[in-house]
Amino acid sequence: MSTRPAPETAESPRDWRILPMRTGCVLLELADLKQTLALYDALCHADLAGIREIIPAARTVMIDFDPAGLSLETLALALRGLDTAQTSDGAGECIQIPVQYDGEDLSAVAELLKMSREDVVRLHTGHDYLVAFTGFAPGFAYLAEGDPRLAVPRRQSPRTLVPAGSVGLAGAFSGVYPKASPGGWQLIGTTPLAMFDIERQPASLLQPGQRVRFFEMAKDGAYTVQAGANAASFSKHMPRTAKPSKNAVEILTVGLPVLFQDLGRQGLVSQGISRSGAADRESLAAANRLVGNTPQAPALEITLGGFSLTMRGQGVMAVSGAIVQTTVTTASGKRIKAPHHQAFAVEDGDIVTLSIASSGMRAYLAVRGGFDITPVLGSCATDMLAQIGPQPLKVGDVIGIADAPAGSHITLGETPAFAMPRADETVTLDIVLGPRTDWFTQGSVDRFLSEEWTVSAQSSRVGIRLQGEALERKIPGELPSEATIRGAIQVPASGQPVLFLVDHPLTGGYPVIGNVASHHLDLAGQVPVGARIRFNALMPFTPHLMSGNSL
């Protein structure tokens, strides 16, 4: 394996800042991308006990660790002991990416850089790139170490839709859009290669640490542009086995999207894939325990109720989470009110109806044995941002029910973890300030903590858009992309905060003023539109400088 010289400051942690995100999660701020990649490489090779996830970005490394087995002090000591002097220079064969240089912004980029279109292409194809990190979307890799003369800013006005396979420039990075999505990169070409394909192992073509080289398709007749890359898309509800299920449910009515969810995907951040899963994990786990399933079994996440299905065969169900009235109408027409947060039996032909929720946002319906569907990338969760997982349910869908595992027992009752919030309430969420609280004026930080923010109707599993007096930044300019987590409160240029939920992007380019504390993440996923949120900081914003032998 080849090596490259370590950056001048990589061997010394004096310039590292540890920025809080929440308990068990910190953001290490480094001097530059080279130092970031050196630390990330060293962390990957060290395989430190207690570290759950590592997400590198432009000049930061996020470390998610188990605070029960690894303290921040012990982590800092381990970081000081890492050898960053020898780092890998890209693993394996250099990946070749054919490009037809026909991008909408190619002429504008050439004019901005005061060179010809041909010069832009020559410089773009004249370097090996390093896959620095992934984010924004599954399979979207930030490619570094290209020609510095190609550094250009993002478009002032992002496009609402960028075609899959588009090759773009932004700052010092180059990248390829794996799927059609909004985006603000300067588009210079198109590639027929699929950057992300769930049928491939691994699904993402580009992995951090690999090397990439672009070449011009016009000079190689072996490639032709095809109709879009095979990007991420929802999958059909395929059963796990070829054997038909003897019990099933048929969907009769659907209001807002009804999704399969479990506890999500883990260990795929290197491919740009976040965990996703239930917005209220404890309510999903409780519904599963009530019917005798394991906590991670797939269940239905039903937003705001207004849903019904009919039973084929026999089964046991439970509904938890948002407060809905659940009614069972038997084949003979008898109407029975089913208890909330308790198991109930259903017979062949029974119609189960969930009313509109009176409080909370998302109800969870579990069936004994679990729904018989094929996992996608190790999980049955539907990620609405990445468009990974089973497709949302529609009227007429018939979903099989798996057999209950031997020895599993129905739980007679459980106490909900918290009272479901109502639309006319103010909900207090505990937060940890950071990692970018110091990007805002003190007046804005004070107002952020004192104001009651209204939950906008423009909210989803990706995030809750909040309305209130705009927050003013102290530090202007663009924040280089860095990791975001579930519960992050990001503040875009409008000054109106967005509270990220489970389908959040893996990295973001706006400062995060604070993160919801772990014990209130599920509550945040249940706050309905129209409710107000007040944030309670558990402690002052306290970044740490790694210097000498102490934090």
pLDDT per position as a tens digit, 289-317: 999 999 999 999 999 999 999 999 999 99
**pLDDT score for 412:** 82
Q: What's the rounded mean pLDDT across residues 312-329? A: 98
Q: Which of 527, 541, 501 lies closest to 422, judged by CA?
A: 527
Between 64 and 201, where is the model more confident?
A: 64
pLDDT tens profile 250-289: 999 999 999 999 999 998 988 889 999 999 999 999 999 9
Is there a contact between 158 and 181 (Cβ–Cβ < 8 Å)? no
Q: What does residue 110 show for φ and ψ, rounded to 5 degrees?
A: -60, -40
Q: What's the rounded mean pLDDT across residues 120-129? A: 96
**pLDDT score for 270:** 83
Q: What is the pTM of this model?
A: 0.90
**Bridge partners, residue 216, by sequence:** 99
> Has residue 435 got a pLDDT over 60?
yes
**pLDDT score for 75:** 93
- For 240, the 3-state DSSP assignment is coil
What does the alpha-carbon distance between residue 107 and residue 101 come to, in Å, rounded to a whole number?
Answer: 11
Omega into 390 within 30° of 0, i.e. cis?
Answer: no
What is the chain's mean pLDDT, rounded? 91
Domains of the chain and CATH, by start? 3-87 (3.30.1360.40), 95-219 (2.40.100.10), 247-401 (no CATH), 426-544 (2.40.100.10)
Give the torsion through C-alpha atoms of 111, 112, 113, 115, to 10 deg. 0
What does the alpha-carbon distance between residue 363 and residue 323 come to, in Å, rounded to a whole number?
Answer: 7
**pLDDT score for 116:** 98
What does the alpha-carbon distance between residue 269 and residue 230 come to, in Å, rounded to a whole number?
Answer: 20
pLDDT tens profile 453-485: 999 999 999 999 999 999 999 999 889 999 999
pLDDT tens profile 493-504: 899 999 999 999
pLDDT tens profile 91-109: 567 999 999 999 999 999 9
> Has residue 6 got a pLDDT over 50?
no
What does the alpha-carbon distance between residue 327 and residue 349 come to, in Å, rounded to a whole number?
Answer: 14
> Has residue 451 got a pLDDT over 70?
yes
> Percentage of residues in the chain with pLDDT exceeding 90?
75
What is the band of 7 on the pLDDT scale with cuts at 50, 70, 90?
very low
Q: What's the rounded mean pLDDT across residues 164-183? A: 94
What does the alpha-carbon distance between residue 344 and residue 316 come to, in Å, rounded to a whole number?
Answer: 6
User: What is the per-residue burial (b if ≥16 Cβ within 10 Å, else e) of 455-494?
Assistant: beeebebbbbbbebeebebeeeeebbbbbbbbbbbbbeee
Q: What's the rounded mean pLDDT across residues 333-341? A: 96
Between 12-16, 407-411, 425-429, 536-540, the lowest mean confidence (pLDDT) is in 12-16
Find how far residue 469's CA is from the centre of its chain. Answer: 27
> Has residue 488 got a pLDDT over 70?
yes
> Has residue 90 got a pLDDT over 90?
no
> Has residue 228 got a pLDDT over 70?
no
> Has residue 88 got a pLDDT over 90?
no
